[in-house]
Structure 1
């Protein structure tokens, strides 16, 4: 008889872990916070949709793995923040105008 493992919903990340790894690696290589230009370059260089990367970044902020800061300081990103951006079903570069600040992992 074999044992089966059931993953509890809380154990399964709500974001793309491969994109999380890519963002973490890019942050380490840059040695500084990432910005929209960095994410656009990641998308082009790796042939990944820009909105997939940004959804992952928003999810990482929602689950307190990363943080976002603008000129006024840290911005709390919630599920509602992400939902409001998804009015048309996909994030567009124009939707990200208000998020041109710094993205960085939390220690």
Structure 2
């Protein structure tokens, strides 16, 4: 997600990255969040670890959390129920819940 990708996001949008840090151009993200146009919630960044003096730490619209979601007790139990329900809806030809559209 480079500067061009981020520029196409709607004003006020929240970018969430819990995948891999290099997926998002950190400098481009800092520019968008610093401008106040976008917000972000990330638990992975590039570079990793994020240096203590990196500007992302001080941005009002940035939420930075540790990348530790997989180690939370009960994660799989909480994840399987909605995933199973979504698969059953898909198999039955029913509308899916929580669909994210890129607007195209």
Shorter-chain-normalised TM-score: which range?
Answer: under 0.3
> What is the TM-score when the length of structure 2 is the normalising length?
0.27
Structure index of larger Rg: 2
- Bigger proportion of residues as helix: 1
Q: Which has the higher contact order (CA 8 A, sep 6+)?
A: 1
